[in-house]
Structure 1
Amino acid sequence: MVGQGVLRVAVVSPQEVVMRGIVSMLADYPDRVVATAVPSARSVGAGADVILYDTFGLFLGGGPELFSLLDESDAKVLIFSRDLRPDLLALAYTLGASAWISMGVHADELVRSIELTAAGEPIREPQGDRQGTMAGLTSREIEVLKLIAEGLSNQDIAEKLAMSGNTLKSHIRQTYRKIEVTTRSQAVGWARAHGLASPVELG
């Protein structure tokens, strides 16, 4: 029997090794979460507080089931994604996802993210800066990209970072080149898909 305050988590992944591995990780926190392995979103029964959804399901054509989960489920949906598949995470956001965690996080970070998701609070993804570094961005370029994703204008960013407009434009050009985008909206999408955007409130 689940104790009061313990969250019920359905782990959805088409890969058994991933699904059972995460359930095993979460088993170390029985006073906070109780996890069940579910091979398909269609198999998620009533009663789950949080659904942990593997974006690899989207690679196998799981877009409709994720959309259905996000649109119809009473449970909160937390996306978990591989660092090397930002395309799948971007697709999850397109379908309406608003909370995600990297598959590379430690168990305690995952449990905390589940608790934040259940409470409807934003998650501050700890892997974002690391992903920016993996893309070849400098710390300054990561900072600029975060501010772009927050919706600040070039003038506001330049003032906030105490740099000239020309210097900022140079940083932006280099950043866009490294992440292979050409527009501001694409840069925001990349930042969000890689955990660099400001947290989005869960509805």
Structure 2
Amino acid sequence: MADQPIRLAIVTRQEVVARGLTAMLSDYPDRVIVTVIPSVRSKAAGVDVVLYDSIGLHNDDGGDLEHLIRNTEAKVLFYSRDMRPDLRARALAMGVHAWVSMSCHAVDLVEAVELTAAGESLPDQEERLGQDVGLSPREVEILALITQGLSNQEIADRLFLTVNTLKSHIRSTYKKIGAVSRPQAVAWGMQHGFAPPDSTDAAGSWLVGS
């Protein structure tokens, strides 16, 4: 346990998640203090850890998560939906410190926040999605976006790649999974945990504090 309570900001697009997490963590005021980020694009001043809900990565291009990782001092802990391991793999490829399952108990979440704040690894963090065929983190990220139905240009724009570089990654990915066409790649992805987008959509983010 840390000497001082960890200052945590929760970033989610769903009010029920925001309120649920805040209630869970309120049982541990000596270990975690939920604080406020004025906006996702802020510097996250005074925050040790950001708990980022995976729905944000599902609903947009990941710009908010990229900003939190690259342009703030806080460590980012990815709050992962168990049915979307592809989003978890994308987040790890982007550089989040670790992930924690949405199904975890409150005490496990608090421990994950404390370990993240200390820069320590969380147990059971090996990301196996695509590893059985040797996919790199970048290839996992690209295959996830292909499975979600994005075009090459859309993927290149999101990942800040040239189309030619993207095509090179796609050829390598297809070779590893045994696909010769985009429909085959999508089918492989869906059979191996890469889910297409659902109809869930919401505008804005809840940036939660006490």
Q: Under TM normalisation by the shorter chain, which class is it?
A: 0.5 to 0.7
Give SS of 2:76's match.
strand
Structure possessing the higher relative contact order (Cα contacts under 8 Å, 6 or more residues apart)? 2
CA contact (8 A) 1:6 1:33 kept: yes
- In the TM superposition, 1:31-180 aligns within 5 A as 31-36=30-35, 41-42=40-41, 45-125=44-124
AA in 2 matched with 1:22: L
Q: Structure 1 length as normaliser, TM-score?
A: 0.58
Give 2:99's aligned amino acid.
W
Q: Distance in 2 between matches of 1:97 and 1:36?
A: 20
Name the counterpart of 2:27: 28
For residues 43-65 of structure 1, give each alpha carbon's deviation from its aligned partner in whole angstroms, at most 9, with x where no partner exists. 67410111000111011105011
Letter in 1 for 2:177: T
Q: For 1:46 and 1:68, how far apart are their aligned partners in 2?
A: 14
| SS of 2:41 mapped into structure 1 | helix
Does the C-alpha gap of structure 1 residues 10 and 108 become closer, same or farther in structure 2, counting only changes over 3 Å? same
Given that 1:53 and 1:78 are in contact with CA atoms closer than 8 Å, whether structure 2 keeps it comes out as yes
Unaligned residue ranges in structure 1 (runs of 5+): 136-143, 150-180, 184-189, 192-203
Percent sequence identity is 46
How many residues align? The count is: 139
Could you tell me which amino acid in structure 1 is paired with residue 58 of structure 2? F
CA distance in 2: counterparts of 1:43 and 1:72, whole angstroms: 9
Amino acid at match of 2:74: A
> Which residue number corresponds to residue 167 of structure 1?
none
Q: CA deviation at 1:95?
A: 1.7
Shift of 1:115: 0.3
| Structure with greater helix share of residues | 1
- Aligned mates of 1:39, 1:24 — CA distance in 2: 20
Counterpart contact for 1:13–1:53, Cα < 8 Å: yes
Question: What secondary structure is seen at the aligned counterpart in 1 of 2:8?
Answer: strand
Deviations 1:10-35 (A, max 9, x none): 01100010011111100000110011
Q: Is the 8 A contact 2:79 2:102 kept in 1?
A: yes
Deviation digits for residues 137-163 of structure 1 (CA, Å, limit 9, x no counterpart):
xxxxxxx96xx89xxxxxxxxxxxxxx
TM-score scaled by structure 2? Answer: 0.56
The amino acid of 1:122's aligned partner reads: S
Instruction: Report deviation, 1:38.
Output: 5.8
Alignment partners' CA distance in 1, 2:14 and 2:61: 13
Structure 1 moving runs of 4+ over 2 Å: 36-45
**Aligned residues: CA RMSD:** 3.5
Q: 1:44 to 1:55 in 2, by over 3 A?
A: farther
Partner of 1:165: none
Query: How far 1:93 moved relative to its partner?
Result: 1.8
- Which residue in 2 is equivalent to 1:169? none
CA-CA distance at 1:94 after TM superposition: 2.4
CA shift in 2, pair 1:125/1:66, >3 Å: same
- Kept in 1, the 8 Å contact 2:6–2:31? The answer is yes
Tell me the CA shift for residue 123 of structure 1: 0.3
Contact 1:80 1:103 in 2 (8 A): yes
Q: Matched residues in 1 for 2:28 and 2:60: separation? A: 32
